[in-house]
Amino acid sequence: MRKIINLNKNWKFIQRDAGLPQSFPEDWDSVELPHTWNAIDGHDGNGKYDRGCYWYARKFETPSQPLPGGRVFLDIPAAGQQASVYVNGKGVGYHEGGYSTFRVDITDECKRHGENLLVIACSNENKSSVYPQSADFTFYGGLYRGVNLISVPHTHFELEHWGTSGLSVTALPDGRGGAEFALESEIRGGDENFTVMYRICNAEGREVAVAIRPADAAAVKISVPEVTLWDCDHPYLYTVSAVLQRRNEAYDEVSARIGVRSFSCHPEKGFILNGVPTPLRGVSRHQDMLYKGNALTREDHYQDARIIKELGANTIRLAHYQHSQDFYDACDELGFIVWAEIPFISIMNQDPAAHENCISQLKELVIQNRNHASICFWGISNEILIGGISEKLVENHRELNALCKELDSTRLTTIAHVSMTPLDSPLHGITDVESYNHYFGWYGQKMEDNGPWLDDFHRMHPDICLGLSEYGCEGIITYHGPDPACKDYSEEYQALYHEHMAKVLSSRPWIWSSHVWNMFDFGCAARNEGGVSGRNNKGLVTMDRKTKKDSYYIYKAYWNREPMVHLCGRRYAQRAGDTTEIRVYSNQPEVSLFLNGELEGVQSADKVFVFSVALKPGFNQITAAAGECRDSMTIERVEKEPEIYVLPEVNERAEGVANWFSLMGDLDLKAPMEFPEGKYNIRCKLEDIARSPEAMEVTSKAVKLATNFELAPGVGMWDMMKSMTPEAMVKMAGSMMPEGFAESLNAQLIQIDKPE
């Protein structure tokens, strides 16, 4: 029978490209898996992180097998981003793609007796044939999901076909209270003496169906007359096992936990689960944590899932790559609808090998995860038009979509469009459903523009199922104030933004899904924004999972049916002024507010309750009550609020815009823009502008004012942004920028000659 041997302990690691050791390297550092060498520098704010090829080594003994001809496989659930595998000095495998399982048959290289030397070289260096290449997150390197040995008899369920489990199950309701289970297994080394016994057991462990098939024709469909459906509130799971037998002996066994459910999307009704319209409202998630990087344990993954479940979300977009089997398992068990995707992101590389890598990563994603009840959507790209459009890009999307359908016809395909994707883009209509990443109210325009934009798209494309795949804004728990505004990075503005967005979405059930960007702050070593570098701080929860920001609780009020009340502004703990605003979130119809033990007022409202109170000098105790729920906080009235509450660059940015215009003199900014030959202009790509230091200096200042991004060749997110134009970036900023800003930038650029 199969043995799975964990190899996570007793590794040696060296953080330099030391080359293949000929013997066990006792002088290397000792580490345990999961491990990444970017656990700190991947988000510590130093502006860069270590991207190299580094080496792991471990000794192991060959597992014993009672039957002759047994095989030994190395099982690597993920290695970021490329990996080369050696056993006893011989290269046995190579894998490109940092997020999926791959296996290597190492039987012939293993010693029959004594110790073997296993060496794995991992690289997170940029490689033109491997996605992701340019994106707004850290590409962690290392063996961050552990390593196993799998010992099997000569005849066994398949292990090498795209990392498969060897068992594929599709379970669909039959419309009569039962379900049909379509089972298929792949077997290596079988003959006419072998059979496969399939068993289906319910969640209580009782067998409800069984079937026997010859190993060379192991596919079968089994009808189960009465089933319990899987849904978000009751994620009921069956266990399907396949036992490979020869006469009276079991050789190998695999199993999967399966949910029976039906789903679809409709342009007007939105997402439909088991025949019931069920708007999907939830979050996106990256797989990293503070000072762990992406080297997470099974418990870390389950902790994240539980925090999201407490929020009341019913969907998770797992961005922007294949996540751990542990997290997919948690989603199956807790009842989330999952959007799973490949890292085809930002910019399409023209290298044909890169498209082949997309294909291989998509095959691994689908084949390795098709048994998960939670997964209903396969995502084929994210914000890919940042790098521009071409016929080849459209063709590649059609090919990826067709491949999804070939591999798994039971699920829907989707895509996440960058905000500026035209309404008539040829990328529309390729996938079954679509979503947009919009940051109106943060990177551009106003939060109030979100609803009208969604309505306009819906009117223009009544046949397209539309979702909102990303939306959000930075919220840094240091910053506070009585008048929150866009780009002040305050916890208060983030909460106001999400108050608005939660209301927008609740009134539009036809939006098939929405995903907050992001559930947790996450590592992006290239970022330097809002006084916190190395991270994207749009999370509803901090990267260490210690603090749920106020914005977390507005969604809990909308999505979680369990009674709750939450006082906002507890970290805005020192306040000046005669009165202050107290905001309360609750899913109850009425909230009472108490100030220093005295009833201050009672309000009826929908989710958001706003009180104005007069604080006494010194400390004040504030309590909110809604039904049986209570929440309390302490606020100190002070003469002057701490300077740390306001990010200095908030005021500097406003002054910078004013100074920008003062440089323009008497220029008529309402005159038609000109684009003379041989001169730079706002329609030039940033990578072309970078050829002129003078043009780059002007443009960098403009981009900083318009978007708050630092822009310099080779620094930060340059690789992702270099294909954009200043015109596109100013359009993204929209109403955030004063009238005439684009014209003023163009007026300066057309004074600068392009190099010959």
pLDDT tens, residue by residue, 417-470: 999 899 999 999 999 999 999 999 998 789 999 999 999 999 999 999 999 999
Q: Which residue has the tokens 């039987």?
A: 107
Give, rounded to a whole angstrom, the gap between the first and last alpha carbons of the chain. Answer: 71
- For 366-382, the pLDDT digits (tens) are 999 999 999 999 999 99
Active-site pick, 253, 341, 364, 383: 383
589 in helix, strand or coil?
Answer: coil
Please give the pLDDT value at position 546: 98
Answer whether 127's CB lies under 8 Å from 82's CB: yes
Answer whether 475's CB lies under 8 Å from 493's CB: yes
684 in helix, strand or coil?
Answer: coil
Name the band, by pLDDT with cuts 50, 70 and 90, for residue 68: confident
In the numeric block, which tokens belong to residue 198?
Answer: 């399939």
Identify which has the larger pLDDT, 697 or 551.
551
Q: Which helix (H) or strand (E) holds 43?
A: none
pLDDT, the chain, mean: 94
Phi, psi of 380 (to 5 degrees): -105, -15
Per the annotation, the verdict on 383 as an active-site residue is: yes
Query: Which range has the worst mean pLDDT, 171-180, 389-398, 500-509, 674-683?
Result: 674-683
Answer whether 337's CB lies under 8 Å from 273's CB: yes
In the numeric block, which tokens belong to residue 278?
Answer: 């069920």
Query: Looking at the predicted structure, is the pLDDT value of residue 389 above 60?
Result: yes
Burial letters 467-479, b for 16+ CB under 10 A, else e: bbbbbbbbbbbbb
Name the band, by pLDDT with cuts 50, 70 and 90, for residue 655: low
Q: Averaged over 322-334, what is the pLDDT?
A: 98
- For 568-599, the pLDDT digits (tens) are 999 999 999 989 999 999 999 999 999 999 99
Query: Looking at the predicted structure, is the pLDDT value of residue 736 above 80?
Result: no
Q: Which of 142, 147, 146 is nearest to 36 (CA)?
A: 142
Please give the pLDDT value at position 727: 84
Name the band, by pLDDT with cuts 50, 70 and 90, for residue 665: low
Q: How far apart are CA 223 and CA 151, in angstroms?
A: 33
- For 446-458, the pLDDT digits (tens) are 999 999 999 999 9
Give the strand pairing for 375-382 and 220-224: unpaired
* Residues comprising the chain, all counted: 756
Query: Looking at the predicted structure, is the pLDDT value of residue 637 above 70?
Result: yes
Q: Which of 752, 748, 730, 747 is nearest to 739 (CA)?
A: 730
Phi, psi of 121 (to 5 degrees): -100, 120
- For 96-153, the pLDDT digits (tens) are 999 999 999 999 999 988 999 999 999 999 999 999 998 999 999 999 999 999 999 9
Q: Which of 443, 487, 530, 454 is nearest to 728 (CA)?
A: 443
706 in helix, strand or coil?
Answer: helix
Query: Looking at the predicted structure, is the pLDDT value of residue 263 above 70?
Result: yes
Please give the pLDDT value at position 657: 57
Please give the pLDDT value at position 333: 98
Query: Looking at the predicted structure, is the pLDDT value of residue 321 above 90?
Result: yes
Q: How far apart are CA 76 and CA 144, in angstroms?
A: 10
Please give the pLDDT value at position 353: 96
Which 8-state DSSP code applies to residue 490? B
